[in-house]
Amino acid sequence: MSSHLPLSSRFVLLAALLLPPAAPAQTTLPAGGPRGATAPEGTYITLGRYEVAAAKIGARSTDLLTSVTVVGADQLENESTDYTLELLGKIPGVTLTDFNQGVITADVSLRGYNGEGSSPHLRLLVDGIPHNLNNGYNDLGPLFPLEIERIEVVKGTADPRYGLNAVAGSVNVHTFQSFTGQKLKVMAGSFGVQEGQALAGYRSGNFSQTYFAGYRHSDGYRDHSTLDKHSFAGKWAVTGDAERWRLGLSARYHHFDGDGPGYLSYADSRRTPTASPAYSSTDGGTQDNLQFSLHGDAQLGPAVTASAKVYRHDVERHRYVRFTAAGAQQERLENELHSGATFTTQWRSTDLGFPLIVDAGAELHRQDADNQRYATAARVRTATTRNHNYTLDNTGLFLGAELRPTSQFRITGALRADRFDGELLNRVNNARTPILTADTIWQPKLSAAYQPHASTQFYASFGRAFQFGGGAAAYSAKPLDASRNDGYELGLRFTPTRALTARLALWRQTATDEIRLKPDNSGDSENIGETRRDGVDLELAWRASAAVNLWASYTVQSGKLTNPGLRPADAALRGKKIDHIPDYHAKAGADWNVTPAFTASVSLLAQGSYQLTTANNLGRWGSAATTHVDLRYRYKKAVVGLSMKNVFDRYSEYVWHDGAQTLHSPADARGFLGSVSFEF
């Protein structure tokens, strides 16, 4: 696989970002304190105000009385990942499904859904801009860890801000917008990893500019799994006097080129886990992302704030894949244009004798997506198997309010409405199919919290969400209802001391007419009937001493087919578990400041096994437990790091069944990475 620039040139390009611009000469750093935007410290549990716009100017949503987890930059910048979605693997309740197949990397899931990509259920945003593909797949490829300020994960259905894909929650990744200073990080280690990242920001008066560049090369743990990727981003902003308004422009480009190692039989995965089958020798693909967005925030009056965004996101993905020796190679092309605008506003009043907060928002989102597939032999086309164009227009509105009639009690309510338009054009036969439903999809939300003591808070929430099919499943010759998903959560947040925080949540999500991708390569989906998902989340964060921080989480979850479809064969599936849902997650970690200059961190990530098919007749697979250690030593403005992944060399894998056999994708064995970071 060829690279666009030699490695030395890429590092020169990264380092060039650290040089201050020739003008303006009066560029200065903020006085006092650490340089750069302030991010949440560490990984903590929160149940409270959830930011939707710029910190000092923009409107905020009502309190979200549901599970919210925030991961700060200090926990992210030391990570090393081939695929940025891996950063979400440590977050409580999140399932990371690692396909490790080149341009098809991984996916994440919440609340008892699986990460197979067959049932879209998670809304992904970067700086408030949607980053789901047309089929619902979550795409974080353009980002590197050093550019991320924080990641916020909202679980459940109580959040009114998002409709499409937000069946089980949302992930909002915030990148540095007005960073001041310069950071450079270079890394090398096992499996041929070579990486460089640079973040630089400058401010002059009311004008700020932030730049990022990142490059990564890896030979991969398995044969035929080489990858190269690079990203560039620029952000420019003008802020008004007293920071009463802010206008910003953001641009980002990303390129990925990777081989696909393919899937192994059970015997080969145990005998030679690093191997790649001969029939996958020409598998692999590329992806390009180009994104522009305009952001505006304003304080419109003493009690009114507003925020608006306009964006355009182009995604081109080109992939060759052959799953088995008996099957043919496929060429898959996805060329998508996502564009739209969002607007939110908030009004606060105390004239009623108690605080009242009213939020409103509107979202316009358009997708124009080409989806093509061809039968190929060694990347030479032999037949056309799919040539679809999807247009999808989504209009969403929400209105919400928060009341605090007493200091101990608060209640939030909201109503969201979504409508869709568009059509499927099958270019093979020029047939046109209208959108699945033109009806308004209503989604009520209601939450309440009672705080009898400063250390204790009880909360309950209800929210309705909907599931809309991805790809061809969004269209039908006859109107059909979208799947309705009702979510419930009961929780307790307990802070007996300033050093210890715990949260316990019991949740359930029930769905009518759940939608799932058909396994027949048609691009269409089918209804699998009524489903129910149940779970318990326990999260702990403890500052054991001035030098030691501990965190842990444990999630028990299940998903079942409670009332399958009407076909005779479906009756046997009643009560069966939904496939690829681990029955538990256990995650824990410790950060120890051994000395002011030396820090040691350890984390344990474990998950239970899952059923391979909805028939539940092929045994349980996928259990895993891996330990990671990170050591850092600071000397003046440099930090030297050593990371050890999968310290005990535990075997883990992703497994699926093609109807005839199990197919396996082994995860990385033990690996070591050394890094040097500089901050100027």
Q: Using one digit for the tens of pLDDT, what is the confidence trace for 170-207?
A: 999 999 998 899 999 999 999 999 999 999 999 999 99
The answer to whether the beta carbons of residues 294 and 310 sit under 8 Å apart is yes
Positive or negative, the Cα torsion across 31, 37, 42, 45? positive
Q: Is 80 exceeded by the pLDDT of residue 5?
A: no
Looking at residue 48, its pLDDT comes to 33
Looking at residue 59, its pLDDT comes to 33
Please state, for a pLDDT cut of 90, what percent of the chain lies above it. Answer: 68
Output DSSP code: residue 145: G
pLDDT in tens, 230-280: 999 999 999 998 889 999 999 999 999 999 999 999 999 999 999 999 999
Kindly state the tokens that stand for 495: 């802070």
Count of beta carbons in the 10 Å neighbourhood of residue 627: 19
Does residue 143 belong to any structural domain of this protein?
Answer: yes
Indicate the pLDDT class of residue 54, thresholds 50, 70 and 90. very low
The answer to whether the beta carbons of residues 258 and 284 sit under 8 Å apart is yes
Does residue 194 belong to any structural domain of this protein?
Answer: no
662-675: average pLDDT: 95
Does residue 363 belong to any structural domain of this protein?
Answer: yes
Indicate the pLDDT class of residue 521, thresholds 50, 70 and 90. low
Residue with token string 């560039």: 232
117-129: average pLDDT: 89
Looking at residue 448, its pLDDT comes to 94
Q: Is 90 exceeded by the pLDDT of residue 566?
A: no
Does residue 185 belong to any structural domain of this protein?
Answer: no
Indicate the pLDDT class of residue 136, thresholds 50, 70 and 90. confident
Half-sphere exposure of 354 (CA within 13 A, CB side): 11
Name the least confident of 13-17, 86-90, 290-294. 13-17
DSSP codes joined into one string, 624-639: EEEEEEEEEEEETTEE
- Encode 454-494 in three state secondary structure: CCEEEEEEEEEEEECCCHHHHECCCCCCCEEEEEEEEEEEE
Does residue 195 belong to any structural domain of this protein?
Answer: no
Name the least confident of 9-13, 155-159, 417-421, 665-669. 9-13
How far is the C-alpha of 443 from the C-alpha of 319, rounded, in Å?
Answer: 37
Q: Is 90 exceeded by the pLDDT of residue 18?
A: no
pLDDT in tens, 614-654: 889 999 999 999 999 999 999 989 999 999 999 999 999 99
Does residue 177 belong to any structural domain of this protein?
Answer: no
Give, in order, the Cα–Cα distances in Å from 171 to each of 68, 69, 139, 161, 288.
10, 10, 11, 12, 22
Which amino acid does the sequence have at 308?
Answer: A
Does residue 125 belong to any structural domain of this protein?
Answer: yes
How far is the C-alpha of 454 from the C-alpha of 498, rounded, in Å?
Answer: 11
495-522: average pLDDT: 86
Looking at residue 219, its pLDDT comes to 96
Q: Is 80 exceeded by the pLDDT of residue 666?
A: yes
Q: H or E segment at 401?
A: strand 380-403
Q: Which residues contact 32 (CB under 8 A, 6 or more apart)?
A: none
CATH number for the domain spanning 297: value is: 2.40.170.20
How far is the C-alpha of 104 from the C-alpha of 116, rounded, in Å?
Answer: 11
How far is the C-alpha of 43 from the C-alpha of 92, rounded, in Å?
Answer: 10
144-157: average pLDDT: 93
Does residue 586 belong to any structural domain of this protein?
Answer: yes
Output DSSP code: residue 645: E
How far is the C-alpha of 131 from the C-alpha of 172, rounded, in Å?
Answer: 10
Looking at residue 62, its pLDDT comes to 35
Looking at residue 35, its pLDDT comes to 31
Domain of residue 570, residue span: 7-166+201-679
402-424: average pLDDT: 92
Looking at residue 354, its pLDDT comes to 77
pTM: 0.88
How many domains, in total, are found in the chain?
1
How far is the C-alpha of 589 from the C-alpha of 596, rounded, in Å?
Answer: 20
Diameter over CA atoms, the chain: 76
Looking at residue 468, its pLDDT comes to 82
Q: Is 70 exceeded by the pLDDT of residue 556?
A: yes
pLDDT in tens, 432-476: 999 988 789 999 999 999 999 989 999 999 999 998 877 888 888
Mean pLDDT over all residues of the chain?
86
